[in-house]
């Protein structure tokens, strides 16, 4: 079998999809990479979800990333964090009317409840999100 064998490619595709679905269901202690295709399942699979909508060229997004990583580790099992690259996944950004990044989308029980736009100071961001982990 060669690397270009269609059967082998399909097996690899199904295996990757299964691994991604598994990652979406567990309560990770690091942010989960979310796409337009996995977004709805990710939000439904966890009780409280914060999705960091970002882009690689965005300076404030890069500043927010270590804060999100820290909170994902600190609040693992209470809040599940996801990261959605808006350049690669425009459908979710359009659906939620995201006009500025970073934007955090907040969900409870699969329902959208709030958003945070921009990069507030770390202490303020933690104070805003802390009730989610209570």
Give the torsion sign (CA, 127, 69, 102, 34): negative
Cβ neighbours for 123, distance < 8 A, ≥ 6 positions apart: none
Catalytic-residue membership of 53? no
Catalytic-residue membership of 58? yes
5 phi and psi angles, rounded to 5 deg: -60, 125
Catalytic residue among 45, 50, 51, 61: 61
Neighbours of 110 (CB within 10 A): 13
Catalytic residue among 53, 58, 71, 125: 58
Cβ neighbours for 134, distance < 8 A, ≥ 6 positions apart: 78
80 phi and psi angles, rounded to 5 deg: -105, 130
* Ranges of H-type helices in 29-134: 39-45, 59-74, 90-95, 122-133
Question: Which residues are designated catalytic?
Answer: 58, 61
């Amino acid at each position: 079998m060669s690397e270009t064998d269609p059967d082998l490619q399909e097996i690899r595709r199904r295996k990757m999809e299964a691994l991604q679905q598994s990652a979406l269901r567990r309560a990770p202690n690091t942010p989960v990479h979310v796409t337009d295709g996995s977004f709805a399942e990710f939000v439904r699979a966890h009780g409280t979800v914060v999705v960091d909508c970002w882009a690689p060229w965005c300076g404030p997004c890069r500043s927010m990333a270590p804060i999100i990583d820290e909170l994902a580790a600190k609040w693992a099992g209470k809040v599940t964090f996801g990261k959605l690259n808006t350049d690669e996944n425009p459908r979710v950004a359009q659906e939620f009317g995201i006009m500025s990044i970073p934007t955090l989308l907040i969900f409870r029980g699969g329902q959208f409840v709030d958003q945070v736009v921009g990069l507030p100071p770390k202490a303020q961001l933690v104070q805003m999100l802390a009730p989610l982990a209570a």
